[in-house]
Amino acid sequence: MTGLNTVGVLALQGDVREHLAALTACGVRAVPVRRPAELDAVDALVLPGGESTTMSRLLETFELLEPLRRRIADGMPTYGSCAGMILLAREVLDGRPDQRQLGGLDVVVRRNAFGRQVDSFETDLELAGLPDGPVHAVFIRAPWVESAGSGVEVLATVPRRPEAGAAEGRIVAVRQGMVLATAFHPELTGDGRVHRLFCDLVRGAARPTRAVG
């Protein structure tokens, strides 16, 4: 055994390969997760970008929805990007009636808030806790946070620039306890700082060794 933290990437749909590569570059053991037994074996989990309603249905099909809810409620470090943020939210606006939520974040998000694929948007963001300047954020059919509970730390908002349009000032990165989420896709830009921030969270929450006797 290497002693490395094991971080899973939900591998039902979405940007799985890109997240696995970014996590591996952080020095953790990165593995795909498709089954409950694979979820049981990881210390933390990434929910990738993709299509949130499809991922919601697949969580039920693969019998992962309730086990994942329990792990998050028990304090497992979890990071969601784009569709992952939607799944982690307490409530979703403009979602499908049958869409299921994981409830790891006390936030209300608006699905596809930035518009359709052709309305993809890029900008530089200052993200709290991230050193070395702004992060270049890529939003693809992305959500934003409409409202956040008192226990939620806002990490980034869209800067007030003419090109931002209706997105100006919207919340696009949050943290609540061991749960981190961004509306944008850091796995697509080659900037590993958001993943390193999450991996530092994982290392700080390493499972304690069970006492014997």
Looking at 26, 187, 195, 199, which residue is catalytic?
Answer: 187
**What pLDDT, on the 0 to 100 scale, is given for residue 168?**
81
**Mean pLDDT, residues 88-98 taken together:** 85
**What pLDDT, on the 0 to 100 scale, is given for residue 115?**
64
Could you confirm whether 195 is annotated as catalytic? no
**What pLDDT, on the 0 to 100 scale, is given for residue 162?**
65
**What share of the chain in percent tops pLDDT 70?**
90
Question: Domains of the chain, with CATH numbers?
Answer: 6-204 (3.40.50.880)
Q: What is the pLDDT of residues 101-149, one digit of tens each?
A: 999 999 999 987 776 544 567 889 999 989 899 999 988 888 999 999 9
* Backbone angles phi and psi of 204, in degrees to 5: -70, -20
Q: How far apart are CA 83 and CA 124, in angstroms?
A: 20
**What pLDDT, on the 0 to 100 scale, is given for residue 74?**
96
Q: Structure pTM?
A: 0.90
**Mean pLDDT, residues 176-184 taken together:** 97
Q: Is pLDDT at 46 greater than 90 in this prediction? A: yes
**DSSP assigned state of 53:** H
Looking at 19, 82, 195, 199, which residue is catalytic?
Answer: 82
Neighbours of 67 (CB within 10 A): 16
Could you confirm whether 60 is annotated as catalytic? no
Could you confirm whether 187 is annotated as catalytic? yes
Looking at 19, 26, 185, 199, which residue is catalytic?
Answer: 185
Q: How far apart are CA 105 and CA 92, in angstroms?
A: 11
**What pLDDT, on the 0 to 100 scale, is given for residue 1?**
36
The residue that leads in pLDDT, 112 or 26, is 26
**What pLDDT, on the 0 to 100 scale, is given for residue 88?**
97
**What share of the chain in percent tops pLDDT 90?**
70
pLDDT band at 160 (very low <50, low <70, confident <90, very high): confident
**Mean pLDDT, residues 159-165 taken together:** 70
Neighbours of 62 (CB within 10 A): 18
**What pLDDT, on the 0 to 100 scale, is given for residue 210?**
37
Three-state SS at 93: strand
